[in-house]
Amino acid sequence: MALVVQKYGGTSVGTIDRIQNVARRVAKTHAEGNQVIVVLSAMSGETNKLVGLAKEICEQPDDREYDVLVSTGEQVTISLLSMCLQSMGYKAKSYLGHQVPIVTNSAFSRARIEHIGDEKIRADLDSGHIVVVAGFQGADCNGNLTTLGRGGSDTSAVAVAAALKADVCEIFTDVDGVYTTDPRIVPEASKIAKISYDEMLEMASLGAKVLQTRSVEFAKKYGVVVHVRSSFNDNQGTLVMKEDSDMETVLVSGVTYNKDEAKISVMRVPDEPGIASRLFLPLTEENITVDMIIQNVSHEGYTDLTFTVPHGDFKKALKTVEQTSKAIGAAGVLSDENIAKISIVGVGMRSHSGVASKMFQVLSQEGINIQMISTSEIKVSCIIDAKYTELAVRVLHEAFGLGDQGAESE
């Protein structure tokens, strides 16, 4: 008998019909002899509707009250699914975040889980109940309701799986699993059978939007095996798990791209201690996340500094940087919104040299100029002209044999 946590997103519980489908799948897992904990999101569209009501009142609603408002969405779905399971003859019981309890810090609307109580759920599972937990929400130690931020239900599911020492945390979504790259660009892209936490983190933060980054961090920290799979079929999906020796034999697991960044260069910056912090501090104060930063060696006491920011923050960032640039005596600011970040990810890189240079070579053969480079132990990212995005993804996917690897792992 295994303990299985299943998480269903807003689309999967968007109507009564779909909730009944979820109930049938949950019931099947239970009937196969497993203990089941279900974690649910709100009905799709519901959270936006509630946010709309709040915006009618004021542009920037109070965080505490905002969490009270939006956490009603999951409360509706967990009670409806429980009723549904009961009407099918199963014992079922819903749990709100504060009932579990899922204890978080008090950072309303972006709270972090600090502790999860397992006693009440354990007792219900042992007495044959299917337990249905509200995702996305918790409560701080003073009993104030909190939410974990958009997509937080993934994190709830993994955290509950960790606390209850579940055998697997199944994340049901509208795709079959994690792919070697975006199948819309490369039709030969293949589903990855298993992937390490670190690779998944790189994939998630680099643009593959299957799993919330924080949920993967949580899974890694507590060693939770996450199974990303489709809610529309019974196919095996992708296992996100601890690195094993199989994984290391694969040089590159996936190719990702991100068109949502823009580039800003500050020219002829006086190369003095403290200059970088004077440049970036104003951006931090405006909550602008800077991604890649490149500083070349200086010539004659001056250097060029280039970095990327999200498109949404570009205009604000440019304005700020132009002011700072004058203040620190730089020569000027250049910018480019038409860039893309292309990355290759794989734990195999650690033990194999030449992966980065192969990437550079492949891009160069296609006449694609590399504007910036950034590397970690298990990934290489290049900034290129945005118009080459699809081409770059295709040739890299091909060059690292990802179509083949996929075929094997099917």
Does residue 96 interact with a copy of itself by CB under 8 A? yes
Does residue 116 interact with a copy of itself by CB under 8 A? no
Name the residue with tokens 């993934």: 154
Nearest to 168 by CA among 226, 240, 212: 226
49 CB-side CA count, 13 A: 8
Does residue 71 interact with a copy of itself by CB under 8 A? yes
Q: Which amino acid is at 254?
A: G
Cα four-point dihedral sign 244, 245, 247, 248: positive
What are the φ/ψ torsions at residue 363 (nearest 5 degrees)? -65, -40
The rounded distance, in Å, linking the Cα atoms of 203 and 208 is 5
**Residue 10 among known ligand-binding residues:** yes
Contacting residue, 2, 16, 31, 141, with a copy of itself by CB under 8 A = 16
Contacting residue, 69, 102, 208, 250, with a copy of itself by CB under 8 A = 69
Three-state DSSP class for residue 358: helix
Torsion of CA 29, 244, 350, 259, to 10 degrees: -10
Does residue 141 interact with a copy of itself by CB under 8 A? no
**Residue 8 among known ligand-binding residues:** yes
- For 225, other C-beta atoms within 10 Å of its C-beta total 17
Helical H runs in 4-93? 16-31, 46-57, 63-70, 72-87
DSSP state of 219: H
**Residue 64 among known ligand-binding residues:** no
Does residue 122 interact with a copy of itself by CB under 8 A? no
Contacting residue, 44, 79, 105, 230, with a copy of itself by CB under 8 A = 79
Do 90 and 68 meet the contact criterion of CB atoms below 8 Å apart?
no
Structure tokens belonging to residue 389 = 């995005």
The rounded distance, in Å, linking the Cα atoms of 198 and 205 is 11
Beta bridge partners of 7: 39, 171
Q: To which H or E segment does residue 163 belong?
A: helix 152-163
# residues near a copy of itself by CB under 8 A: 37
Pattern 224-243, binding to a copy of itself, x per CB under 8 A? --------------------
Does residue 68 interact with a copy of itself by CB under 8 A? yes
**Residue 319 among known ligand-binding residues:** no
Does residue 123 interact with a copy of itself by CB under 8 A? no
Contacting residue, 57, 297, 300, 353, with a copy of itself by CB under 8 A = 57
**Distance between terminal CA atoms of the chain?**
27
Considering beta carbons, is residue 83 or 107 the nearer one to a copy of itself? 83
Region binding a copy of itself by CB under 8 A among candidate stretches 15-23, 172-180, 341-349, 372-380: 15-23
**Residue 47 among known ligand-binding residues:** yes
- Sheet architecture: strand order including 332-336: 293-295, 302-310, 261-270, 332-336
DSSP state of 184: T
Region binding a copy of itself by CB under 8 A among candidate stretches 141-149, 254-262, 278-286, 395-403: 141-149
Does residue 99 interact with a copy of itself by CB under 8 A? yes
**Residue 326 among known ligand-binding residues:** no
Nearest to 238 by CA among 250, 251, 225: 225
The rounded distance, in Å, linking the Cα atoms of 410 and 405 is 9
Does residue 112 interact with a copy of itself by CB under 8 A? no
Contacting residue, 83, 267, 356, 370, with a copy of itself by CB under 8 A = 83
Does residue 374 interact with a copy of itself by CB under 8 A? no
Does residue 11 interact with a copy of itself by CB under 8 A? no
Does residue 56 interact with a copy of itself by CB under 8 A? yes
Considering beta carbons, is residue 22 or 161 the nearer one to a copy of itself? 22
Contacting residue, 33, 58, 89, 285, with a copy of itself by CB under 8 A = 58
**Of 179-218, which residues contact a copy of itself (CB under 8 A)?**
none
CB of 58 to a copy of itself, least distance (A): 4
Considering beta carbons, is residue 62 or 408 the nearer one to a copy of itself? 62
DSSP state of 289: P
Does residue 44 interact with a copy of itself by CB under 8 A? no
Which string of DSSP letters, residue by residue, matches 313-339? GHHHHHHHHHHHHHHTT-SEEEEES-E
Considering beta carbons, is residue 86 or 409 the nearer one to a copy of itself? 86
Residues making contact with a copy of itself (CB under 8 A): 16, 19-20, 50, 53-54, 56-58, 61-62, 64-66, 68-69, 71-72, 75-76, 78-80, 82-84, 86-87, 92-94, 96, 98-99, 143-145
Mark the binding-site residues, compressed into ranges: 7-10, 47, 74, 173-174, 179, 184, 209-210
Mark the binding-site residues for ATP, compressed into ranges: 7-10, 173-174, 179, 184, 209-210
